[in-house]
Structure formats: structure tokens, C-alpha cells
């Protein structure tokens, strides 16, 4: 009788074990996400990781676990979160949904980052560990100011707008605006001319008087009374004629030939003759 009961218990245990294994994956999760080529398998591995993260977050809420256990749990949670992001990226590559953009952020909101240290989060009782609480109380360090050299590094031709016309869009727009402005100005001028009649035309003819003739008449009327004796007046500067220029060039050429071919004795004799003759 005992033998039959033992067999029944063994069969019951096998049946229970089979039911428990129905919801579990048949194969082991690959070490690298790139080795998975099926989007359904990738989503299943991601769900398993999310379950592990949720379970460990529940465990780390207990401050009685001890400092070392809490630190290990916090490290494991951060490792699983990085692994979750890797699988989410792989799911997106395989054509699945983008969980990083549309997925729930509950697990990320549970943690808290230290100011100035992005990436690593503290969960549950880990936020009250010695040395961590002080880090949260500190204000983040101010961003370092850029030096003058770093600021000038971003200054190029685009900063001054030298290459704004290279896109092929600005020049046609400027030409069109310029043509519209010219057309509007011409229409306005024609409209004013029609409204003014002949009187305006006669006034325009009077304005078109020869200013050069008027300037010459003014100078003749003045007679040099006001500018006489003023050496800085450009109207009193003597302008040599063509004959005077030719005579000056001939004298200069003669002097160059004398300096080149005549001896010093001949030059001195010539100067003495000029002195005697009074030249």
C-alpha cells in the first residue's frame, strides 16, 4: 500500500513540475543580444529582465538586509537595467516596438541619481547608506566656464554669415525682393508725376541746369577777390602747358648726357662761361 502511495506522489510531483515549467523558456538567454534573431524571443528575454528588476527592487526596500547586501542588490539592479536597455535596442533593430521611447518608465523612476554622476542610480534603502545620503544633499557643481580659446573655436565663416548664400535659396529671394521694390518705386514715381502735371516737369528741367557752366560763371564773377593770394586754393595752382613740359624734358635729357659723357674739367669750364655771360 505504501508503494502505491509513493508512486502516486512521484507522479504528482512530476505533473506539478511540468506545469511550473510550462511558462518558462525552453532555452537559455544568450549572453549577447546580437545573437538573438527573433523579435519574439527578444521581447521574452526583456520581460524576464523586467521581472528580475522588479523583484530585486522589492527586496532592496528592506533596510535590515545590511549594508553589503544592499550594495550588492543595487549593483545588480543597475546591471539589469543596462541589460534591459541593450535588449530594447535589439528589439528595435529587429523591427519591434521602441520600448525606450514608449515603454513604461516605472523602474527608472524608482531610482535616484547623484547630481553630476549620470547613469548609476540608487534604489530603496541604498539611498540611505552611509556616504550616499551626503552626496544627495550636496548641490551639483557649477558647469565650468569656457575659455576664450574654446569660444573662438566655434567661430567660423558660418558665424559671420559668409556662407549664407551658398545654399542657393537666399539669392533668388533677395533678387525677387529687389525687383518688387524697384517696381513699387517706379509705380510710385509715375503716380506722383501724373498728379503733379506740367509744373513739376518744368521744375525738373530747371534742376537739370548745367552745374559746370554755373560754377564757371560764379568763378568769373568773383574775379579772384576772395581767393587772391591764398596758396592753398587749388584754383590758383599753375598748370604747365605742353610746350613747357617738352622744354623741361629736353633740359633734363641734356643734363643726363652731360653727366654721363662730359668730364669734370669740361663741366667746370662750361659753368665759368655761363657765369661770364650772365646766363
pLDDT in tens, 30-53: 888 888 888 888 888 888 888 888
Question: Is 254 within a domain?
Answer: yes
Question: Is 252 within a domain?
Answer: yes
Q: Which of 80, 110, 140 is the last residue of a domain?
A: 140
Q: Which of 140, 171, 192 is the last residue of a domain?
A: 140
Question: Is 213 within a domain?
Answer: no
Question: Is 178 within a domain?
Answer: no
Nearest-10 crossing angle of helices 198-207, 170-196:
110
Q: Which pLDDT band holds residue 149 (cuts at 50, 70, 90)? A: confident
CB of 114 closer than 8 Å to CB of 135? yes
**Does the pLDDT of residue 218 top 60, yes or no?**
no
Range of the domain at 263: 242-277
- pTM for this predicted structure: 0.40
Question: Is 34 within a domain?
Answer: yes
| pLDDT tens column, 201-216 | 555 555 555 555 555 5
Tally of domains in the chain: 2
Is the four-CA dihedral 38, 42, 44, 45 of positive or negative sign? positive
Question: Is 36 within a domain?
Answer: yes
Strand locations in the chain (E): 112-114, 117-122
Per-position b or e across 213-234, b if 16+ CB within 10 A of its CB: eeeeeeeeeeeeeeeeeeeeee
Question: Is 151 within a domain?
Answer: no
Amino acid at each position: 500500500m505504501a508503494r502505491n502511495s509513493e508512486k502516486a506522489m512521484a507522479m504528482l510531483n512530476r505533473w506539478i513540475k511540468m506545469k511550473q515549467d510550462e511558462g518558462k523558456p525552453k532555452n537559455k538567454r544568450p549572453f549577447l543580444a546580437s545573437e538573438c534573431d527573433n523579435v519574439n524571443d527578444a521581447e521574452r528575454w526583456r520581460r524576464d529582465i523586467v521581472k528580475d528588476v522588479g523583484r530585486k527592487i522589492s527586496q532592496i526596500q528592506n533596510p535590515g538586509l545590511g549594508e553589503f547586501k544592499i550594495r550588492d542588490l543595487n549593483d545588480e539592479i543597475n546591471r539589469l537595467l543596462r541589460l534591459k536597455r541593450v535588449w530594447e535596442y535589439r528589439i528595435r533593430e529587429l523591427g519591434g516596438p521602441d520600448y525606450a521611447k514608449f515603454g513604461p518608465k516605472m523602474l527608472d523612476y524608482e531610482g535616484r541619481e547623484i547630481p553630476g554622476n549620470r547613469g548609476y542610480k540608487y534604489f530603496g534603502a541604498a539611498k540611505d547608506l552611509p556616504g550616499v545620503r551626503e552626496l544627495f544633499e550636496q548641490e551639483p557643481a557649477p558647469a565650468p566656464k569656457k575659455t576664450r580659446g574654446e569660444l573662438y573655436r566655434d567661430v567660423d565663416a558660418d558665424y559671420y554669415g559668409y556662407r549664407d548664400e551658398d545654399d542657393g535659396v537666399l539669392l533668388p529671394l533677395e533678387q525677387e525682393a529687389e525687383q518688387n521694390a524697384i517696381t513699387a518705386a517706379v509705380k510710385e514715381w509715375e503716380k506722383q508725376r501724373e498728379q503733379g502735371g506740367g509744373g513739376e516737369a518744368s521744375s525738373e528741367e530747371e534742376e537739370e541746369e548745367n552745374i559746370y557752366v554755373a560754377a564757371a560763371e560764379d568763378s568769373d564773377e568773383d574775379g579772384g577777390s576772395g581767393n587772391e593770394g591764398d596758396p592753398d586754393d587749388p584754383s590758383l595752382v599753375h598748370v604747365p602747358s605742353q610746350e613747357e613740359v617738352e622744354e623741361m624734358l629736353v633740359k633734363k635729357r641734356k643734363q643726363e648726357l652731360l653727366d654721363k659723357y662730359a668730364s669734370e674739367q669740361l663741366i667746370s669750364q662750361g659753368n665759368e662761361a655761363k657765369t661770364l655771360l650772365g646766363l
